[in-house]
Amino acid sequence: MSGHGTGRRLDAADIGEGLGERATLVQFSSAFCQPCRATRRVLAEVAAMVPGVAHVEIDAEDHLDLVRELRVLKTPTVLVLDAGGHVVRRAAGQPRKADVIAALGEAV
């Protein structure tokens, strides 16, 4: 997980679901993306493990405005949002579980 976010705030209207109480893992996916499936598993496991963390998956093709605005260049791309919906970390490609947990440490 590298780099910091755009400072952009995302809310339920942007992602189509409520934010997690402490943090939200937002995953941009596309239909035929193999690593997206593995990423979904990793993020769901982490969200189940860490109280107050939600996992939301967004179909990149259905949300092109958001994809452009957030400069999502490939799938999967994972954004870590803090409780206020600010993007604090982002990663392109399939993240490792340990990296997701470490990134959450910064968000919560």
Alpha-carbon gap, residue 96 to 65, rounded angstroms:
28
Q: What secondary structure letter does DSSP report for 102?
A: H
Alpha-carbon gap, residue 91 to 5, rounded angstroms:
10
- Give tens-digit pLDDT for 20-52: 999 999 999 999 999 999 999 999 999 999 999
Looking at residue 104, its amino acid is L
| Pure H helices in the chain | 12-15, 34-49, 64-69, 97-107
- Identify whether 51 is preceded by a cis peptide bond (ω within 30 of 0): no
pTM equals 0.91
Cβ-in-10-Å burial (0-12, 13-18, 19+) of 92 comes to middle
Task: Work out whether the CA dihedral 19, 87, 16, 32 comes out positive or negative.
Answer: negative
pLDDT at residue 105 tops 90: no
The chain-wide mean pLDDT, for the chain, equals 92
Q: What is the chain's length? A: 108
Q: Which of 4-8, 13-17, 64-68, 97-101 has the lowest mean pLDDT?
A: 4-8
